[in-house]
Amino acid sequence: MELALFCTRVNFLVFLLALSSPCKFIQSPMDFGPLKLLQATNSASLDFGRLYSNTPSAVLRPQSPEEISLLLSLLSASSFSKVTVAAKGAGHSINGQAQALNGIVIEMDSLPSSIKIHRSVDGEFGPSYADVSGGTLWVELLKETLKVGLTPRSWTDYLYLSIGGTLSNGGISGQTFKYGPQISNVLQLDVVTGSGELVTCSPSKNSDLFFAVLGGLGQFGIITSARILLQEAPHKVKWVRAFYDDFEDFIKDQELLVVSMRDKVDYVEGFIVLNEGSLHSSSLAFPASLSSIAPQLFPQSTSSHKHYYCLEFAIYYHSEKEAINLDQISRKMKFKPSLVHSVEVAYFDFLNRVNVEEVNLRRRNLWNVAHPWLNMFVPKTGISKFRDLMLQTISASPTFEGPILLYPILKDKWNSRTSAVLPESEDNVIYIVGMLRSANPSTCSEQCLEFLLHQNREIVKTATHPEMGIAGKQYLPHYTQEEQWRAHFGGKWQRFMARKTYFDPLNILSPGQAIFKRKY
Ligand code: FAD
């Protein structure tokens, strides 16, 4: 056994030397004992954003966490090499975060998918949970837990993202105000650190690693397994959409729901309706006819450029017989009765709603296009100013395709020990604003795409400037310079750096985030 490990080490050193030579791409699979590195593929160089394409030197498709541990131990022991490693979940990043130029990409979907569900029985101490491997998609976890009537509590809008990928960021959606982000709903993690150590961690065991990894942008370790909190799954969902022409009324009602009616509603989101086209495209998954709403918002007789706001909320039914009285909620809200629609849908269909849009966009060849997305957290006190900044900026765009999400979450549902970054202001109500633009190649040239990216940078610059009164922070942050990262982390920067030095001392992990440079 020792001899085999010695041979693996020697062969691996030869491989690392080869990587340092000008001809660095491996031509065929290479075996290092239990480690088998594969030739780089197109998919290992790409992500959903289609803005960056960094080709790795090799790909690892691990069959076990031990293979990941061996790879990182070997790299940590070879002090002359500058090879980096990126875990890749579903590759749904926008800015190359799961890429590793000339490094090694670990495709996490190859880990044997394992979902073990523990249902808490009456009288037992502790909640129900699922142990699930890091490369598993949330939709796979949902399908398994629903078989036994359980479900995770906190979601993202889109379910075809990996467990490890969203836990490295936050994982937010319309349930976040109630249960916190996905990173607030994890009980335990198995992690391979940058030095190759396999560690089980939780809030009470190796807690610094646990909190570092949650929202840690892949910097401290690779999540090979996560224990996700579960609860009883609802039967059905009442899904409501109400339209507003006044921004203040819209956000007041959103805040009413997430603060005062927190116990009555289960999901709150909202979006801006820029024009009739965006009303129709945002309604693909919502199975109600727009025939009574569309003419009220966009009458044929006028060519007004007015925009609207759509508040979306949902209430879960926990039994077949349950009756939901919407009046109890809506009588305190400010929307006009003629501008509200509600439908009842199956719980799975509700959570999987973005897939309807995906199918539609794929059919029109508009899914695999560039996505100059921008997501910002904005405190309540800065949201009106941010809205003005955003609408003024995009009014100069040649086109706008894609939704603009805008909804509140509550800061006290986030654990400040995690690595995730929220605005530092005192407000407990924080808005997430997602400008989810697509660059349709037939209407948006390379120059147009560059213009959209420029607009995003300008919005970030203004919204994060200390004197502009917005105090925003990027969600799924993208920066390229150390001083930008330092400003992004603010008071959390020293802790973030200390954790990096401790858990990934050679800066091997997640080079695509462009926070730290690989050390020798
Ligand atoms: P990847 O892109 O593969 O990786 C992201 C980062 O995590 C990289 O740095 C990577 O190295 C690291 N990483 C990946 N796996 C692991 C692991 N196992 N251990 C450690 N590090 C790892 N986000 C929300 O919060 N809410 C939403 O509603 C939402 N909707 C989205 C809808 C779409 C259509 C898309 C494309 C994205 C959406 N996102 C949303 C963003 C998404 O959560 C992030 O991009 C997330 O990182 C994607 O997960 P992934 O598995 O594709 O990660």
Atom 16 in ligand 1: residue holding the nearest Cα: 164
- What are 227-269's pLDDT values in tens digits? 999 999 999 999 999 999 999 999 999 999 999 999 999 999 9
For tokens 């401790």, name the residue. Answer: 502
CATH 3.30.43.10 in the chain: give the residue spans.
2-110+501-513
Instruction: Report the CATH fold assignment for 2-110+501-513.
Output: 3.30.43
Note the pLDDT of residue 411.
98
β-pair type (85-88, 104-107): parallel
For ligand 1, whether the C-beta of 508 sits within 6 Å is no
Atom 1 in ligand 1: residue holding the nearest Cα: 91
CA of 121 to the centre of ligand 1 (A): 33
CA of 117 to the centre of ligand 1 (A): 23
If you write DSSP's letter for every residue of 8-23 in order, what string do you get? HHHHHHHHHHHHHSS-
The architecture in CATH of the region 236-475 reads: 3-Layer(aba) Sandwich (3.40)
CA of 46 to the centre of ligand 1 (A): 13
Q: Which of 258, 216, 90 lies closest to 161, judged by CA?
A: 90
Atom 38 in ligand 1: residue holding the nearest Cα: 158
pTM > 0.90: yes or no: yes
Note the pLDDT of residue 27.
54
* CATH number belonging to domain 115-232: 3.30.465.10
Contacts of 180 (CB under 8 A, 6+ apart): 154, 413, 414, 415
- What are 40-79's pLDDT values in tens digits? 988 999 999 999 999 999 999 999 999 999 999 999 987 6
**Which residue stretches of the chain have pLDDT < 50?**
1
Contacts of 433 (CB under 8 A, 6+ apart): 375, 376, 378, 383, 386, 387, 390, 404, 405, 406
Which residues are known to be catalytic?
92, 157, 269
Continuous H helices in 53-149? 65-77, 138-146
Atom 25 in ligand 1: residue holding the nearest Cα: 171
Q: 3-state DSSP call for residue 162?
A: strand
- Angle, CA 486 vertex, CA 482 and CA 488 arms, to 5°: 115
For ligand 1, whether the C-beta of 405 sits within 6 Å is no
CATH 3.30.465.10 in the chain: give the residue spans.
115-232
CA of 411 to the centre of ligand 1 (A): 21
Note the pLDDT of residue 17.
63
Note the pLDDT of residue 344.
94
Q: Are 108 and 164 in contact (CB under 8 A)?
A: yes
H or E segment and range at residue 456: helix 446-464
Note the pLDDT of residue 400.
80
CATH 3.40.462.10 in the chain: give the residue spans.
236-475
